[in-house]
Amino acid sequence: MVTETSAGLGTGRASVGSMLEFAWTAGVFTATDAMSATSLTRSTAIDAVDILLDAGILVEHPNARAVGSYRSGRPARRFSLSPELGVVVGIDAGDTHLAITVADPLETTLVHRRTDLDSAHSPQERRTVILAELQRALDEADRTRDDVLSICAGVAAPVNRKGVSPPHPDGFWERTNPGLAEALREWAPIVEVKNDALLAAVAEGAQGAAIGCRDYVALLAGERFGGGVVVDGHLLHGAHGGVGEGVVFDHVVGVESAVGLGYALQDAVRDGVADGSIPATGAVGRMADAEPIDPRAVLALASEGDADAVLVSTRVGASVARIVGVLGSMYDPAKVIVCGGVAASIEPVLAAARAVLPEQLHLPAPDLIASSLGVEVVSLGAVASARRAARERSVPMLAEGRLRRRS
């Protein structure tokens, strides 16, 4: 579970802040429910509810008599968060894809749009496309900028706490994060730009293989390797947002590259044909001339026991074991979760990696598992982070502002 610090309401409104925090997960509740959860007195709880009702943060529902559950005595008033608070937005801006999700602050996805991005675009062109797709998503959800409580965008680059990526020797980070923090500033009161692997770790901790785990790495492994690292329940970030940056694998013997598993499998097929270990006439060998090679087809053959595909999986698995060995030695995780679209079919590679992983480190080897969250893992993490920002910052700010205007 990843820990964060709640901003809450201002000084003097502790009871209102406690009531608001309770309401996020309570569904429809009564004052008695709130008293039990918050330790507020009845009068204080009712005062806090009335303040939040007056600010439009809570809404009142028909009482127990009106919904047919009243038995005796005075029927209890029933409340919940207002469904009209606004929306949150999660953005997954990968190197070659863009996914935008508009959701309510609690649990419902309203719109999800996914499209391709041109990796040859300039930063300005990329920024223009992202903002245009964001507007289309809001239009499809029948929402405006005024409805947006928070935005979280995931990018394939290190990102510092201000949402800015450092310079890259080839300009890659500047292109994949084309000034999004500044570009989105007018779209929401809270804007966060984060590394995509970090958001994958958020998703795995919230609804994936790391629920309840305090030490894990979410290893994005599609186009390039990158790790979102959680230690002692805390996301690790670094001065420039570079914790888990994959360039380290360029310098690991037996890996020598940060390219992801899709490319690694293609290279292993072509290398095997070139060195004669994979016959060019076999089912795998015939793939060598394809551009690109479909890694899922190779993995499907490996799952069926095809000897050449198993050889490819074994060779790539040895590289994965070295990568996980480095992560295991640096961060001592209980789990390493391979994430991204490739995860659904990657088991033959992981099985090969597990067989040799204990040789790669002195510590106990982490569990090496495939994510079940699929290609949308970064989107899920972005939405979860946007919801957290709305809960801890945007809505308390909204409540505070409305209360000031009413006082």
Q: How far, in Å, are 224, 230, 243, 294 from residue 353 at the CA level?
A: 18, 22, 23, 21
Interval 55-82 mean pLDDT: 74
Spell out the long-range contacts of 341-344 with Cβ–Cβ below 8 A and sequence spacing 24 or more.
341/222, 341/374, 341/375, 342/221, 342/222, 342/260, 342/261, 342/262, 342/295, 342/296, 343/221, 343/370, 343/371, 343/372, 343/373, 343/374, 344/370, 344/374
Q: What is the pLDDT of residue 391?
A: 93
For the chain, the structural domain boundaries read: 14-84, 87-206+378-394, 211-372
pLDDT over 70 percentage in the chain: 93
Q: Indicate whether 65 pLDDT > 80.
A: no
Instruction: Specify whether the CB–CB gap between 218 and 339 falls below 8 A.
Output: yes
Q: What fold does the segment set 14-84 form as a domain?
A: Arc Repressor Mutant, subunit A (1.10.10)
Q: How far, in Å, are 6, 14, 29, 140, 251 from residue 37 at the CA level?
A: 17, 14, 11, 38, 52
Q: Indicate whether 71 pLDDT > 90.
A: no
Q: What is the pLDDT of residue 337?
A: 98
Q: Indicate whether 6 pLDDT > 60.
A: no
Q: How far, in Å, are 121, 138, 160, 180, 225 from residue 167 at the CA level?
A: 17, 32, 12, 15, 19
For residue 134, name the pLDDT band (cuts at 50, 70, 90): very high
Residues with Cβ < 8 Å from 69, sequence gap 6 or more? none
Over the chain, what is the mean pLDDT? 91
Q: What is the pLDDT of residue 4?
A: 45
Q: What is the pLDDT of residue 16?
A: 87
Instruction: Specify whether the CB–CB gap between 369 and 333 falls below 8 A.
Output: no
Domain at 211-372, CATH class: alpha beta
Residues with Cβ < 8 Å from 290, sequence gap 6 or more? none
pLDDT over 90 percentage in the chain: 76
Strongest mean pLDDT among 64-68, 209-213, 244-248: 209-213
Instruction: Specify whether the CB–CB gap between 133 and 184 falls below 8 A.
Output: no
Q: Indicate whether 9 pLDDT > 60.
A: no
- Is pLDDT larger for residue 108 or for residue 253? 108
**Dist. CA 388–CA 390, nearest whole Å:** 5
Instruction: Specify whether the CB–CB gap between 206 and 198 falls below 8 A.
Output: no
For residue 5, name the pLDDT band (cuts at 50, 70, 90): very low
Q: What is the pLDDT of residue 186?
A: 94
Chain segment 331-368, per-residue pLDDT in tens: 999 999 999 988 999 999 999 999 999 999 999 999 99
Q: 87-206+378-394 and 211-372 share one CATH topology?
A: yes
Q: Indicate whether 405 pLDDT > 90.
A: no
Interval 156-177 mean pLDDT: 93
Q: What is the pLDDT of residue 275?
A: 96
Q: What is the pLDDT of residue 224?
A: 85
Q: What fold does the segment set 87-206+378-394 form as a domain?
A: Nucleotidyltransferase; domain 5 (3.30.420)
**Dist. CA 172–CA 108, nearest whole Å:** 34
Q: Indicate whether 138 pLDDT > 70.
A: yes
If one counts every other C-beta atom within 10 angstroms of the C-beta of residue 393, the result is 18
Chain segment 201-232, per-residue pLDDT in tens: 999 999 999 999 999 999 999 788 999 999 99
CA 400 to centroid of chain Cα atoms: 29
CA 158 to centroid of chain Cα atoms: 15
Interval 271-280 mean pLDDT: 96
